[in-house]
Amino acid sequence: MENTYALVTGATSGIGLEISRNLAKRGYNLILVSRTTEKLDQISKKLIQNFNIKCDYFSSDLTLIESPDEIYQFTSQKKYNVNILVNNAGYALPNAFHENSMEDEERCLRVLGTSVIALTKKYINDMISNGGGKIMIVSSVAAFAPASSLQSLYGPVKTFMNRFSESLSFYNKYGITSTAVCPGYTVTNFHTASGVQKEMDSVPGFLKKSAKRIAEEGVDAMLKGKKVSVPTKTWKIIVFLLKVIPNSVFSLISGLLAPGRYNDV
C-alpha cells in the first residue's frame, strides 16, 4: 500500500536508531519519534539520503499522557498508513524505589508501559482494517530475571510488556503479529541516561552487545512474526539458565559479574 510506514519510538539513539537504520536498509519508509527535534531532523535527512526511503518525524515526550494521541493524530493527518509499530523508547530511574517520587515512577512507567499500550491500541484498529501489521515491543532480559534492588519497577514493567505482547497473538487471524524483543546488556546511551553507567562499566565485555546486532536480530524476528526474541547466543543461554537455576543462585552469580543489582538498599 502506498504511504505505508514503520513508526519507531526512541529512534534517535541506541537500539531504536539501529532498528530505524535496519528497516531503512530493507526499504521501509519511516516515522521517527523521540523528544529531540534536532536529532530527529538530522537522522531523518541521513536516512532519506542513504537509503532512498520516505522518512518523517514527530517530536514527542512519551512521559506525557496525551503524547500517543498526538502521535496518532500526526500520522492520520498526513495520511500515513502505519503497518509496523516499534515501541522502543525507554529509560530507567537511577535511585532505589523509596528515593524516587511517585511522579517520576509514573512518568517512567508511561514511557515503558502505558504509552506502549496506548500506541498499540491506536494503530491496531488501522491494522485490522488494513488486513495486517507488525508490532515490536523492545522489552529486556530483565523481564525474566530475579527482582533487582536497582531500578525496582524496570523488570516488572518489562515482564508486563512481554505478557501484553503475548496477548496480542490473538490478533494473528487479522494478519497481526507482536514480537517482544528482549536484549541483555547493550552498549547505548541507556545506562548514562538512567544514571547507572558506573554499574554498566563493571559488566564483563562478553555480556555487552552492540545495538546494531540487537536491531538486526530483533527486526528479523519481527518480520518473521516470532512471539519472543532474545538476541545473541550468549543471552539465549542466560535466559535458558534463568529458567532452570534457582533465583538465589542466579542473583549470586549475577551480583558477582555485575555488582550493585542485588545489593540491599
Ligand X SMILES: NC(=O)c1ccc[n+]([C@@H]2O[C@H](COP(=O)([O-])OP(=O)(O)OC[C@H]3O[C@@H](n4cnc5c(N)ncnc54)[C@H](OP(=O)(O)O)[C@@H]3O)[C@@H](O)[C@H]2O)c1
| Pair 107, 63: CB distance under 8 Å | yes
Region of 8-16, 47-55, 226-234, 254-262 interacting with ligand X (CB under 6 A)? 8-16
Nearest residue (CB) to ligand X, 63 versus 178: 63
Is 172 one of the binding residues for ligand X (CB under 6 A)? no
Question: Is residue 104 at the binding interface for ligand X, with CB under 6 A as the rule?
Answer: no
Other C-beta atoms within 10 Å of 14: how many?
23
Q: Is 15 a binder of ligand X (CB under 6 A)?
A: yes
**Shortest distance, CB of residue 140 to ligand X, whole angstroms?**
4
- 239 burial level (CB within 10 Å; 0-12, 13-18, 19+): middle
Using CB under 6 A, count the residues that bind ligand X. Answer: 30
Query: In what helix (H) or strand (E) does residue 31 lie, and over which residues does it extend?
Result: strand 30-34
Residue whose C-alpha cell reads 533487582 in the numeric block? 148
Query: Cβ(109)–Cβ(157) under 8 Å?
Result: yes
Task: Give, as ranges, the residues between 140 and 169 that touch ligand X (CB under 6 A).
Answer: 140
User: Considering the rule CB under 6 A, would residue 19 count as an interface residue with ligand X?
Assistant: no
Residues sharing a CB contact under 8 Å with residue 108, sequence separation 6 or more, in sequence order: 63, 91, 92, 93, 153
Minimum CB distance to ligand X, residue 175 (Å): 26
Residues that bind ligand X (CB under 6 A): 10-16, 34-36, 39, 60-63, 88-91, 111, 138, 140, 183, 185-186, 188-190, 193, 211
